[in-house]
Structure 1
Amino acid sequence: MSDMENVLNGKKIAILVANGFEESHMTGLHKNLVATGAEVKIVSPEKGVVNSWHGNGWGHFFPANAHLSTSMSHHYDAVVIPGGSRHVARLIANPQTARFMRGFMEDNKPVALLDDAPKILADAELLEDRSVIVIEDAQEAVTESGATVVEATLHVDDMLVSAKEVIEPMIEKFADCIVKYEPEAWEAA
């Protein structure tokens, strides 16, 4: 990722997680995003710290930089959501998640989703006519929302990047979307 160094200087990226997120996803995403020069914030419905899932049990605690209920999409240039069935279920159950994500999707801001995270947008009715990669356990919910499931490890649909277990290549595509994003074009439309 050396060619990605400082490509996102000055950009604010949210990593949206709830208790039970896949620890390896979040740590890989965080490390790679920081390497791009982005300011990375962990946004969570949990207050103070958020607990990961690692292997077959609970993992480490991570500090949450921002509370979901007071976070707005306009505070960030992009958002990334790691996988993990426990945290996906918790985020779906929280109505603030749909509000937060609707802002990104309506403004066509860059969004990156890993493994089963597309299920969050499907539940919020934000995936209609979109195409994403999603793990098998979440495919039914995604197709029922009007989205197309793509069989690949990495896929880009406009500003929506989805992947299965490929963090570095996903961050490269995600960074490309962030660099290409032009908010003025959407505000004028």
Structure 2
Amino acid sequence: MPKIENARILVVATHGFEQSELEFPRDQLRVKGAKVDVATLDGKAITGWEGTDWGREAEADLRIVEAKAEDYDAIVLPGGQINPDLLRVEADAISLIKAFYAKGKVVAAVCHAPWLLVEAGLVKGRQVTSYPSIRTDVENAGGLWQDKEVVADLGLVTSRKPEDLKAFVSKIVEEIEEGRHDRQAA
């Protein structure tokens, strides 16, 4: 069985990510021993959103187009309103998310990031949650929406908001340590 200490995890984000939703999973997964890379559209640092204004920068390790699902055990998608809305029109980002899913890797999205799962066509028939304001989008895409701090369905991990991040990270670790997730079409 894989161990979190040996795991490689990719965080995919762009400007306007919810500050805590990138920093908390990235930092906590690193503390647990995982190697965590951050991929951005241009491979350069991105600026978060915190409260009502721009927040801190997050350093990038590579461009999204350079990332390969086979090099990682999981992909983490931070929310915020701006970040997933910008990424869901980026073909390279959507292709990468689909590749992780197709290979049975853990795909984790929090807050508004399930918009990316909707765009990638991954929520139909799956138990998921999200920030409440995009519940209708998730349900219209066939997702079985639940109001819980974290929902996991065959390695697809979703959470609602920053207050759920501790449970979100714990579930990511648990799902990685379970190994490859064989998924049938819903």
- TM-score, with structure 1 as normaliser: 0.89
| Matching of residue 49 in structure 1 with residue 23 in structure 2 | no
Matches within 5 A, 1:32-111: 32-111=28-107
Match of 2:22 among 20, 26, 44: 26
- What is the CA distance between 1:142 and its match in structure 2? 1.0
| Aligned residue number for residue 157 of structure 2 | 161
3-state secondary structure, aligned to 2:43: coil
- Residue 76 (structure 1) shift: 0.9
Could you say which residue in structure 2 is the equivalent of 1:181?
A: 179
Asked if the contact 2:104–2:180 (Cα under 8 Å) also holds between the matched residues in 1, the reply is no
State the one-letter code of the partner of 2:122.
L
- C-alpha displacement of 1:46: 3.3
SS in 2 for 1:9: helix
How many Å apart are 1:121 and its aligned residue?
Answer: 0.9
**CA pair 135-46 structure 1, distance change in 2 beyond 3 A:** same
Shift of 1:160: 1.1
- Distance in 2 between residues matched to 1:46 and 1:86, nearest whole Å: 17
Secondary structure in structure 2 of the residue aligned to 1:93? coil
Structure 2 Cα separation of the partners of residues 50 and 15 of structure 1: 12
Give 1:178 shift: 0.3
- 1:14 counterpart = 2:26: no
Cα distance in 2 between the residues matched to 1:58 and 1:98: 25
Letter in 1 for 2:90: N
**Equivalent residue letter for 2:104:** N
8 Å contact kept, 1:84–1:117: yes
**1:120 counterpart (108, 116, 120):** 116
For residues 95-125 of structure 1, give each alpha carbon's deviation from its aligned partner in whole angstroms, at most 9, with x where no partner exists. 1111000011112211111111111110121
| Runs of 4+ with deviation above 4 angstroms | none
- Give unpaired runs (5+ residues) of structure 1: 1-6
2-structure distance, mates of 1:182, 1:125: 20
Structure 1 residue 12: Cα displacement: 0.5
Show CA shifts across 1:34-80 (max 9, x none). 11100000111133111111111111112111100121211211011
Rounded to whole Å, the distance in 2 between the matches of 1:138 and 1:128 is: 15
> Aligned-pair distance for 1:179?
0.8
What's the Cα RMSD here? Answer: 1.6
Structure 2: gaps of 5 or more residues: none
Q: Percent identity?
A: 22
Structure 2 counterpart of 1:3: none
8 Å Cα contact 1:18-1:46 kept in structure 2: no
CA distance in 1, matches of 2:93, 2:144: 22
